Structure 1
Amino acid sequence: MPEGHTLHRLARLHQRRFAREPVMVSSPQGRFADGAAAVNGRVLKKATAWGKHLFHHYDGGRVVHVHLGLYGTFNEAPVPMPLPVGQVRMRMIGTEYGTDLRGPTVCEVIEVPDIDDIVARLGPDPLRRDADGSLAWARIRKSRRPIGALLMDQSVLAGVGNVYRNELLYRHRIDPYRPGTRIDESEFDAMWVDLVELMRVGLRRGKIITIRREDDHGFPSYRPGRPRTYVYRRAGEPCRICGTGIRTAVLEGRNLFWCPNCQK
């Protein structure tokens, strides 16, 4: 599932390529036909993101809300675009570029006030300038759930996915099964500062980078195309720091990775 930096990059891209001009919106697949008709030909005022949610704001107060989920993707192309291939939920065509959306969990038209309802269910987004990490800390310190689960809870932190979760805990040598009630405020503050910086790097570079240069000893990633990581998808491989085999388990439906020696 794309993590928060991916949605913020999409918002910036769509802002640059489609904003302040009329956009032709259609649904070749047909599942978004009514929504597409509601915004077709309108001016896209801006594109924004909060966590893993993308919002296209059109004049007249209508907003296209997209959540990519596990399988959703946008595919950009210059115009004229070729005929749609496969199940294209939404096609946007601007002056110079177009994009096809396939496989999202959510693609719907909402009104501006509905955005507040969605955001109210989310925790702070580390990539937003107005993010307040203390709101996440207030929820973590009262919960007995494992910190490894809390970091993935979008109502606690918006935009954090499985890669950042696993890598952040390793970087701070925290056992993913430690309850939130046993996380010190100083530990959380250090994680928050680190997370903000890591996700900003992801936003700038377009890829997740978590390994400190001094720790990158050349062990291969899980497979070509995967990010080079400390623990994520490295089950059974030696820890980059201590050489202990990386362990894996399923925590609340998602794969967890950690070093049992470094993260005691």
Structure 2
Amino acid sequence: MPEGHSVHRIARQFARHFVGHRVAASSPQGRFAEGASIIDGLTMTDARAVGKQLFLEFDDAVWLRVHLGIYGAWDFAGAVAFDATARSAGGRMGQTNQRGTEIDEVDARSSVVGEHESSLSSIGAPRRTRLRMAEAETATAVEGDFPPEPVGQVRLRLLTDTAVADLRGPTACEVLDAAQVQRVIAALGPDPLIDDPTEGEQRMLERVRRRKVPIALLLMDQSVVSGIGNVYRAEMLFRARLDPFTTGANLSDELVRALWRDWSHLLDVGVETGQMLTMDDLDDDAYRAALRNRADRHWVYKREGLPCRVCGTHVTMQLAAARKLYWCPNCQS
């Protein structure tokens, strides 16, 4: 399932290429025909992400809410580009600072563009590229005229003069008014990229400390804090050397605040690199390897049975609320 960084990157695509443009909306699949007819012909005025949910605003206070869920994805084509903050494989992202250079533009004639997922700041000539954005991001060349024909079961197509976005397989796709949007957002936990940092930290603290529920479950609860999924959950708990089964009520205020700040840091890294890169202070070779290969970018996620990178104890996996939880029983005891 796409985690918070992916949805923020998708929102930036819409902000860059669709906001301010009149949009033709359709439902090639037919399942969202009524909703598409409401949006059709309106101008997109805002695009924002809150946690794992995307909100697109149009004229007349009409909003589209999308939750990709496990199988959803957006396909962009036309004059589209990766977010300008994407860094090159030679760039560095540390715990408290960052450095790096913009990635060179890429020839859209190649069938698959880039050395690793999400590595591009530009994905080639307008109307020649298709960009799929979900948990991972891939760019491929598109032949023929613009707009390209829909591929597969497209729930919703949003089209401007220069760009098209196709939505497939979402868990939720609905048209809302402004009051309904506010109710949805009010039920969500704080998001470091949306909320005031101090206020967001306090909200998370209050929602964690009053619950006698394991922190491994609380971090996945979108009403407690927004955007954290299975990967970030496992990695944040390891980075904090925290027993996943410690209840929120038994954590110190300082530790909960540290979790919020670490989530803010990791979310920034994810939005900038397009990767759930959770290992800091890597040398240049290790950093390049981490960008190329998921197995080289995490401390414990999907490393069950392998030695902990810190102590050598075998990493453990256990189901928690039907999701796989990974942790080191020594470092996190």
TM-score (norm 1): 0.94
Residues of 2 paired with 1:145 and 1:48: CA distance? Answer: 30
How far is the alpha carbon of 1:143 from its aligned partner? 1.1
Which amino acid in the other structure matches residue 72 of structure 2?
G
Secondary structure of the residue aligned to 1:60 is: helix
Shifted more, 9-18 versus 207-216: the winner is 207-216
Which of residues 257, 273, 277 in structure 2 aligns to 1:189? 257
RMSD: 1.9
What CA deviation, in whole Å up to 9, does each residue of 1:18-58 have, x standing for no partner? 11010111100011101000011110011111111101100
1:247 alignment counterpart: 316
Match of 2:246 in 1: 178
| Distance (whole Å) between structure 1 residues aligned to residue 210 and residue 63 of structure 2 | 35
Any conservation in 2 of the 1:215–1:241 contact (CA below 8 Å)? Answer: no
Note the C-alpha offset of 1:110. 0.6
**How far apart are the structure 1 equivalents of 2:283 and 2:301?**
15
Preserved CA contact (<8 Å) 1:24 1:94: yes
Distance 1:42 1:227, change over 3 A: farther
Q: Which amino acid aligns with 2:54?
A: L
Corresponding residue for 1:154? Answer: 222
Greater relative contact order (Cα < 8 A, sep 6+): 2
Residues 124 and 135 of structure 1 are in contact (CA less than 8 Å); yes or no, is this contact kept in structure 2? yes
- Distance in structure 1 (CA, Å) of the matches to 2:322 and 2:229: 13
Q: Does 1:5 align with 2:5?
A: yes
User: Within 2, Cα distance between the matches of 1:109 and 1:167?
Assistant: 35
1:122 is the counterpart of 2:188? yes
Letter of the structure 2 residue corresponding to residue 262 of structure 1: C
The one of 75, 93, 98 aligned to 2:159: 93
Give the ranges of 4+ consecutive aligned residues of structure 1 lying more than 4 Å apart after TM superposition.
Answer: 214-218, 223-227
- Match of 1:40, as an amino acid? D
Distance 2:167 2:296 in 1: 24
Q: Does 1:258 align with 2:324?
A: no
The one of 172, 180, 204 equivalent to 1:136 is 204
Asked if structure 1 preserves the Cα contact closer than 8 Å seen for 2:26 and 2:33, the reply is: yes
Partner amino acid, structure 1, of 2:302? R
1:213 CA displacement: 2.5
The answer on whether the counterparts of 1:209 and 1:227 sit within 8 Å (CA) in structure 2 is no
Contact 2:47 2:55 in 1 (8 A): yes
Mapping for residues 5-154 of structure 1, pairs under 5 Å: 5-78=5-78, 79=127, 80-131=146-197, 132-154=200-222
Q: What corresponds to 2:300 in structure 1? A: 231
Distance 2:76 2:17 in 1: 10
Q: Which amino acid in 1 is paired with 2:267?
A: M
Q: Given residue 125 of structure 1, which amino acid in structure 2 is its aligned partner?
A: D
Unaligned runs of 5+ in 1: none
Measured at CA, do residues 151 and 241 of structure 1 come closer, stay the same or move farther in structure 2, by a change above 3 Å? same
In structure 2, stretches of 5+ residues that fail to align are 79-126, 128-145
Distance 1:62 1:109, change over 3 A: same
C-alpha offsets along residues 117-176 of structure 1, whole Å, 9 cap, x if unaligned? 101211101221425111111121111110000000000001111111110000010000
Q: How many residues align?
A: 262
Q: Which of the residues 264, 277, 301 maps onto 1:209?
A: 277
State percent identity of aligned pairs: 44
What TM-score do the two structures reach when normalised by structure 2? 0.75
How far off its partner does 1:208 sit? 1.1
Distance in 2, matches of 1:216 and 1:250, equals 35
Cα pair distance change 1:194/1:224, threshold 3 Å:
closer
CA distance in structure 2 between the partners assigned to 1:96 and 1:227 by the alignment: 38
